[in-house]
Amino acid sequence: MKHSKAAFGLLGMVAAAVMAASGLARAEVTEVKIARQFGIHYLPLVVMEDQKLVEKRAKADGIELKAEWVQLSGGATVNDALLSHAVDLSAGGVGPLIVLWDKSRGGKGDVKGLAAVSDVPMTLTTRDPNVKTIADFTDQDRIALPAVKTSMQAVTLQMAAAKLWGDASYTKLDPLTVSMRHPDAAAAMISGFGNQITSHFTAAPYDFMELKNPAIHAVLDSYDVYGGPATLIVLYATSKFVDENPKATKAVVEAMGDAMELIRGDHRKAAEIYLRVTKEKTKLEDMMAMLDNPKIAFRLQPSNTYPVAVFLHRIGRIGAQPTSWKDFFFPSAHGLPGS
């Protein structure tokens, strides 16, 4: 009897320990690591960082959560950071998200979008006076973009090539592309000295800065390729993180909505925040002019993302063709008027 009591006591201690351990396992993160890249298409995330909106939203929702911000360049780098758990959420192009969604389907680590970050047109600029359309590029040209083959600029360039020359030639311009951070490529384009870069597929503020130089002109606008406004940047994560941290995930998305409200309500304040955080040399008036551009929008609902998936499936880049944009976004986004 004495041994039985001891055994029951031991079992009770073990059960309590198991319950405590499982409770700890269910506890959500208190710090979330978020990756963003360069350009005003990441403005909501810059505002979130500066104004500590994740922390404020989390506190309003009754949880403690701190955001740690990591700045990277290129879709492949951002995706690697997410898959290696160096970051919890990544902000990147629609193309990189769809490729990662396809590769990760069917497991706890599968990746999907949480919400759109921005609709911003990408501009292909050049210093070559002979290049009026993409058909004019020659082997002597070099086109800088964030990451060859994988970045949203690279995918859009392939879509433009397929539109002009047919799907069989979608990689026709790939040999001309060079991976380079937007700030470095813009500096190379503007200076025009000591480099081989003749063109740059970029977005605001870098296209705006470049086109102020009379030696540089625009070749292509991404909205021409997509047939209208299109989401450039999305926020995405693994199902494992979202399932294990629903409150933290919700707080981040709500904070991004708060940032978008601030941007829409006060372009000057948003521009000041961007310049203060990024330390870019753009003039405040120029930043505000970019934000006044009706082609630029910051909203949670995705626009024209599905055509990218259709294209990537058509050329064999992804194995499964989604039935709609909702396939590569989490259910929490399905109520948005997306496309």
Residue 141 has pLDDT above 60, yes or no: yes
Q: Which residue has the higher pLDDT, 169 or 80?
A: 169
Confidence of residue 134 (pLDDT cuts 50, 70, 90): very high
The overall average pLDDT reported for the chain is 90
Confidence of residue 76 (pLDDT cuts 50, 70, 90): confident
Confidence of residue 72 (pLDDT cuts 50, 70, 90): confident
Residue 23 has pLDDT above 80, yes or no: no
Helices (H), 292-338: 306-314
Helices (H), the chain: 2-26, 43-51, 53-60, 75-83, 94-104, 152-165, 182-191, 206-211, 222-226, 239-244, 246-265, 267-278, 284-291, 306-314
Structure token digits, residue 227: 């047939």
- Cα–Cα distance measured from residue 179 to residue 146, given in angstroms and rounded to the nearest whole number: 5
Is residue 145 within 8 Å of residue 198, measured between CB atoms?
Answer: no
User: What's the pLDDT score for residue 101?
Assistant: 95
Residue 70 φ/ψ, nearest 5 degrees: -125, 130
Residue 16 has pLDDT above 50, yes or no: no
Collapsing DSSP to helix, strand or coil, 32 comes out as strand
User: What's the pLDDT score for residue 26?
Assistant: 64
Structure token digits, residue 297: 């929008």
Ranges of each domain in the chain: 28-119+229-333, 123-226
CATH number of 28-119+229-333: 3.40.190.10
Residue 28 has pLDDT above 60, yes or no: yes
Averaged over 177-201, what is the pLDDT? 91
Q: Which residues have a Cβ under 8 Å from the Cβ of 271 and sit 6 or more positions away?
A: 284, 287, 288, 291
Averaged over 18-47, what is the pLDDT? 80
Query: In 10 A of CB 141, how many CB atoms?
Result: 19
Confidence of residue 329 (pLDDT cuts 50, 70, 90): very high
Averaged over 44-48, what is the pLDDT? 98
- From first CA to last CA, the distance across the chain in angstroms is 69
Averaged over 225-240, what is the pLDDT? 95
Query: In 10 A of CB 100, how many CB atoms?
Result: 28
- Cα–Cα distance measured from residue 334 to residue 23, given in angstroms and rounded to the nearest whole number: 31
User: What's the pLDDT score for residue 109?
Assistant: 79
Residue 131 has pLDDT above 70, yes or no: yes
pTM confidence score: 0.85
- Cα–Cα distance measured from residue 116 to residue 94, given in angstroms and rounded to the nearest whole number: 9
Residue 20 has pLDDT above 60, yes or no: no
Is residue 307 within 8 Å of residue 162, measured between CB atoms?
Answer: no
Residue 2 has pLDDT above 50, yes or no: no
User: What's the pLDDT score for residue 195?
Assistant: 72
User: Strand order in 123-126's β-sheet?
Assistant: 177-179, 143-145, 199-202, 123-126, 217-221
For CA atoms 285, 144, 95, 81, the dihedral sign is: negative
Collapsing DSSP to helix, strand or coil, 195 comes out as coil
Q: How far apart, in Å, are the Cα atoms of 229 and each of 211, 226, 236?
A: 21, 7, 20
Of the chain, the percentage scoring pLDDT greater than 90 comes to 80
CATH number of 123-226: 3.40.190.10
Residue 66 has pLDDT above 90, yes or no: yes
Averaged over 290-306, what is the pLDDT? 95
User: Strand order in 66-71's β-sheet?
Assistant: 66-71, 31-36, 89-93, 231-238, 111-119
Confidence of residue 281 (pLDDT cuts 50, 70, 90): confident
Of the chain, the percentage scoring pLDDT greater than 70 comes to 91
Confidence of residue 194 (pLDDT cuts 50, 70, 90): low
Averaged over 216-221, what is the pLDDT? 97
